[in-house]
Amino acid sequence: MKKRESRTLRTRVVWCAAGLAATALVSPLAAQVPAKADLVVRNGPIYTMADEQSRVEAFAVRDGRYVFRGSNTEVMAYVGPDTQILDLHGTQMAMPGINDVHMHPLDGAYEDLYACNMAPNLPLPAVLARVADCVQRAEPGDWIVGAAWGSGLIPEVSTADALAALDKVSGAHPVVLRDDSFHNRWVNSEVMRRVGITAESISPPGSEIVKDAASGAPSGLLKEFPAFLAVMKQIPPRTPERQTQAAIAAGKTLNAFGITGAQDAFDSEAILKIWHQVDREHGLPFHMVASLSAMPPEHPGDRTGIDLVDVRDQYRSANVRPAFAKLFLDGVPPARTAKFLAPYLPDHQHGNNYSGEAKYTLEQLTDLLTALDKRGVPVKMHATGDGSVRLALDAIEAVRKRNGPDGPQHQIAHASFIAPDDIPRFAQLDVVADISPMLWFPSGIHMAIASVIGKARADLFFPVKSLVQAGALVAGGSDWPAGQPTANPWIGIEGLVTRKDPMGIFPGALWAKQAVDLPTALRIYTRNSAEAMGLGQETGSIEVGKSADFIVLDQDILQLPVEQIHTVMPQRTFFKGKQVHARPEGS
């Protein structure tokens, strides 16, 4: 804990020192007549997310950065003939842009534009009806690629009868449907024929080709990446034109929700090339931090793991930072592929004492983390079970002893279940709790988890308040399009405060004592996420010297009834001092 606080303190001192140094270089006369600003925002409320001057009336922007914050009177010294003035009229509110620490924006935008999308709470008959509708609109030979069926359907789609129903609505088309966890695929018989999956097929390590319990025939359900890698290679590749359009659309979608910074949680070299190209040719309207894949490559010739990390700088551009590596330590609880400390509920396949399997031993993970840590590369580790969270913490502790305590700030992604004794270790080891997806309220995924570990254990989900109180750096994300079909951060922010489903689909509250107050939730989604992504000195708060990434809301969110937070939509979004989104009048 002391180590993380000292790092944060150093950051604050750097900014304060920079401001003092700048003042010292200006003559007394010049200090009274500051250079004019490009933009002045005044007549707040303005919520800065800074430790000092957390609320101000006004700020000024020049060359894409904040140059002043303070009172309405003082800011007028920065107004010249060419200064744009944005008056909040005392009712609108400005605050830093949202930073999402965990999402898959290219996939999300691509699926919105081109896939057979469906809501994750649909029952199986509705999923089949959606596939039938997509088949009707498809051209001969098209693959039907869709998302996202709810992982609570895993038992239903694990049977020969469900496969027969999928085949019936598929026509002659290959069909691949992703679940809401992103870790499983349900495919039809035509796909299995093309990739050679039969009753004799053996599941690759770390995955499962699920077979019908009665007949032993494959059901079409493929759990975890190794099981469906061959399928993904068969799907016709996304064209460069569509990928480019998806990347551009992602920026528009994020800006509309007020997002000005995002960490892509999984970047193959192919994805990284798209982000780099679009940023150079069009300019991304948000900070994009990449997490470089250590998985086997989907595309021949693509580098992965350490090989990709070592060439990451060739993909760096103005708004793209290939900073992180990405490791998967386990799968997801509904598929029984998450690693727990205690066993799952008994089933016919795994017996009475199965607690899941991690993808690394402690020695393997420690060696890999040591190599990345020594290179200064922070690592985002997917870990959903309390067993894999402990594995991550144990490995980081070993790495701190090998490489020293001042290495990069690693992330444990999702961290949905954490043993009580492990909660204080996040701060002690300077580890970020990446609490995504936005499921800290009752949901279909939570119900699916309860069906495999029991409701009592499943309800101990996302101990957010305990992490905050223990001094951990807690950062928020959506996991869009996994976990949630939308990138909307306001759903997640409300859920953090109420622990209830903002959309009202699922009743009740989930571990209500882990709710946090609204200022804490906003900080988690702004300054904390920026710091977690390595952007703490660049964005996340309205402070002199930082990038002018901010949003304007039509009212003071701190005065809004908490049950209405999910309805918030920014009126304007600014990135590097330029307006990148304006909400249409009357919408």
**Six-digit token pair at 162?**
């469900």
Are 104 and 480 spatial neighbours (Cβ–Cβ below 8 Å)?
yes
Between helix 362-374 and helix 386-403 the angle, nearest 10°, is: 50
Average pLDDT of adjacent 10-residue blocks, the chain of 587 residues: 40 34 40 86 97 96 98 97 97 98 96 91 95 94 92 95 98 95 94 97 94 96 93 92 96 98 97 97 98 89 95 98 98 95 94 96 98 97 98 98 97 97 98 92 92 97 98 97 89 97 94 98 98 98 98 96 96 98 84
Domain membership flag for residue 415? yes
The C-alpha atoms of residue 242 and residue 77 are separated, in whole angstroms, by 48
Query: How confident is the model at residue 587, as a pLDDT?
Result: 63
Query: How confident is the model at residue 25, as a pLDDT?
Result: 40
Domain membership flag for residue 286? no
Query: How confident is the model at residue 348, as a pLDDT?
Result: 87
Please indicate, yes or no, whether the overall pTM of this predicted structure exceeds 0.85. yes
Single out the residue in 234, 251, 274 at which a domain terminates.
234
**Number of folded domains in the chain?**
3
Query: How confident is the model at residue 516, as a pLDDT?
Result: 98
Q: SS3 of 447, please?
A: helix
Domain membership flag for residue 271? no
Domain membership flag for residue 75? no
Give rounded-to-5 percent helix, strand, coil for the chain. Answer: 40, 20, 40
Q: SS3 of 304, please?
A: coil
Domain membership flag for residue 62? no
Q: SS3 of 328, please?
A: strand
Domain hosting 5: range is: 1-32
Cis peptide, bond prior to residue 570, ω within 30 of zero: no
**One domain, residues 16 and 119:** no
Single out the residue in 496, 516, 536 at which a domain terminates.
516
Burial of 346 (0-12, 13-18, 19+ CB in 10 A): exposed
Domain membership flag for residue 136? yes
The C-alpha atoms of residue 336 and residue 437 are separated, in whole angstroms, by 18
Cis peptide, bond prior to residue 35, ω within 30 of zero: no
Query: How confident is the model at residue 343, as a pLDDT?
Result: 98
Query: How confident is the model at residue 170, as a pLDDT?
Result: 97
**One domain, residues 359 and 490:** yes
Domain membership flag for residue 480? yes
**One domain, residues 351 and 208:** no
Burial of 374 (0-12, 13-18, 19+ CB in 10 A): middle
Q: Could you tell me the CA-to-CA distances from 560 to 518, 553, 566, 575 in Å, in that order?
A: 10, 11, 11, 25
Domain membership flag for residue 491? yes
